[in-house]
Amino acid sequence: GAGVSQSPSNKVTEKGKDVELRCDPISGHTALYWYRQSLGQGLEFLIYFQGNSAPDKSGLPSDRFSAERTGGSVSTLTIQRTQQEDSAVYLCASSSTSGGVAGELFFGEGSRLTVL
Protein backbone atom coordinates (compact mmCIF):
# COMPACT_ATOMS: atom_id res chain seq x y z
CA GLY A 1 0.00 0.00 0.00
CA ALA A 2 0.96 3.62 -0.25
CA GLY A 3 0.66 4.50 3.42
CA VAL A 4 2.03 3.27 6.73
CA SER A 5 0.42 -0.01 7.62
CA GLN A 6 0.00 -1.26 11.19
CA SER A 7 -1.28 -4.53 12.54
CA PRO A 8 -3.23 -5.60 14.41
CA SER A 9 -5.60 -2.65 14.48
CA ASN A 10 -7.01 -3.88 17.77
CA LYS A 11 -5.52 -6.22 20.34
CA VAL A 12 -7.05 -7.32 23.60
CA THR A 13 -4.80 -9.29 25.90
CA GLU A 14 -4.61 -10.46 29.46
CA LYS A 15 -2.28 -8.93 31.97
CA GLY A 16 1.08 -10.69 31.93
CA LYS A 17 0.97 -11.82 28.32
CA ASP A 18 3.41 -10.65 25.64
CA VAL A 19 2.22 -8.75 22.57
CA GLU A 20 3.80 -7.84 19.25
CA LEU A 21 2.74 -4.89 17.16
CA ARG A 22 3.85 -4.58 13.57
CA CYS A 23 4.57 -1.56 11.40
CA ASP A 24 5.19 -1.53 7.66
CA PRO A 25 6.47 1.94 6.69
CA ILE A 26 6.16 3.71 3.39
CA SER A 27 8.58 2.21 0.90
CA GLY A 28 11.82 4.16 0.74
CA HIS A 29 11.34 5.96 4.05
CA THR A 30 14.48 5.57 6.10
CA ALA A 31 13.15 6.92 9.39
CA LEU A 32 10.63 5.04 11.51
CA TYR A 33 9.09 6.10 14.80
CA TRP A 34 6.90 4.52 17.44
CA TYR A 35 4.66 6.70 19.58
CA ARG A 36 2.13 5.85 22.24
CA GLN A 37 -1.11 7.75 22.63
CA SER A 38 -2.91 7.31 25.92
CA LEU A 39 -6.30 8.82 26.58
CA GLY A 40 -5.91 12.51 27.30
CA GLN A 41 -2.12 12.28 27.35
CA GLY A 42 -1.12 13.25 23.84
CA LEU A 43 1.60 11.42 21.97
CA GLU A 44 4.57 9.97 23.81
CA PHE A 45 7.75 9.17 21.88
CA LEU A 46 8.96 5.61 22.31
CA ILE A 47 11.71 4.80 19.81
CA TYR A 48 13.24 6.03 16.57
CA PHE A 49 15.07 4.16 13.81
CA GLN A 50 17.12 5.91 11.13
CA GLY A 51 18.69 3.77 8.44
CA ASN A 52 21.43 1.57 9.83
CA SER A 53 22.18 3.81 12.79
CA ALA A 54 21.66 2.68 16.35
CA PRO A 55 18.05 3.38 17.33
CA ASP A 56 17.12 6.10 19.79
CA LYS A 57 15.43 4.12 22.56
CA SER A 58 15.24 6.98 25.02
CA GLY A 59 11.46 6.97 25.13
CA LEU A 60 10.87 3.34 26.00
CA PRO A 61 9.12 3.40 29.40
CA SER A 62 10.60 0.18 30.79
CA ASP A 63 12.68 -2.84 29.87
CA ARG A 64 9.47 -4.69 29.07
CA PHE A 65 9.35 -2.67 25.86
CA SER A 66 11.60 -3.41 22.91
CA ALA A 67 11.53 -2.84 19.19
CA GLU A 68 13.45 -3.97 16.19
CA ARG A 69 13.52 -3.07 12.56
CA THR A 70 14.51 -5.77 10.12
CA GLY A 71 16.16 -4.97 6.82
CA GLY A 72 15.54 -1.27 7.29
CA SER A 73 11.85 -1.75 6.66
CA VAL A 74 9.28 -3.53 8.82
CA SER A 75 9.39 -2.87 12.55
CA THR A 76 8.01 -4.84 15.46
CA LEU A 77 7.27 -3.36 18.87
CA THR A 78 7.19 -6.00 21.60
CA ILE A 79 5.71 -5.53 25.03
CA GLN A 80 6.48 -8.29 27.50
CA ARG A 81 4.41 -9.11 30.58
CA THR A 82 1.81 -6.51 29.70
CA GLN A 83 0.31 -4.34 32.42
CA GLN A 84 -2.98 -2.48 32.42
CA GLU A 85 -1.16 0.85 32.13
CA ASP A 86 0.19 -0.33 28.77
CA SER A 87 -3.32 0.09 27.33
CA ALA A 88 -3.06 2.76 24.65
CA VAL A 89 -2.95 3.33 20.92
CA TYR A 90 0.48 2.61 19.53
CA LEU A 91 1.24 4.74 16.49
CA CYS A 92 3.94 4.12 13.95
CA ALA A 93 5.22 6.80 11.60
CA SER A 94 7.79 6.99 8.86
CA SER A 95 9.52 9.81 7.08
CA SER A 96 12.08 10.45 4.41
CA THR A 97 15.05 12.68 4.99
CA SER A 98 16.32 15.10 2.46
CA GLY A 99 19.55 16.99 2.86
CA GLY A 100 19.64 16.13 6.53
CA VAL A 101 16.25 17.69 7.18
CA ALA A 102 13.44 15.46 8.34
CA GLY A 103 10.34 15.51 6.22
CA GLU A 104 6.92 15.42 7.70
CA LEU A 105 5.91 12.20 9.41
CA PHE A 106 3.35 9.90 7.87
CA PHE A 107 1.39 8.06 10.51
CA GLY A 108 -0.38 4.75 10.43
CA GLU A 109 -3.83 4.29 11.90
CA GLY A 110 -2.42 2.80 15.06
CA SER A 111 -2.79 -0.41 17.02
CA ARG A 112 -5.18 -0.13 19.93
CA LEU A 113 -3.97 -2.29 22.80
CA THR A 114 -6.26 -3.16 25.68
CA VAL A 115 -4.82 -5.04 28.63
CA LEU A 116 -7.44 -6.64 30.84
Nearer to another protein, 2 or 14 (CB): 2
CB of 59 to another protein, least distance (A): 8
Nearer to another protein, 50 or 80 (CB): 50
Q: Could you give the 3-state DSSP secondary structure of residue 86?
A: helix
CB of 81 to another protein, least distance (A): 26
Q: Could you give the 3-state DSSP secondary structure of residue 11?
A: strand
CB of 29 to another protein, least distance (A): 12
Q: Where on the chain is the footprint of another protein (CB under 8 A)? A: 31, 33, 35, 40-45, 48, 50, 56, 58-59, 89, 91, 93, 95, 97, 101-102, 104-110
Q: What angle do CA 105, 77, 115 make, to 5 degrees?
A: 110
The H or E element that residue 109 is part of is: none
Q: Tell me the one-letter amino acid at 44.
A: E
What is d(CA 92, CA 34) in angstroms, rounded to the nearest whole number? Answer: 5
Q: What angle do CA 9, 11, 14 make, to 5 degrees?
A: 170
CB of 99 to another protein, least distance (A): 11
Nearer to another protein, 74 or 105 (CB): 105
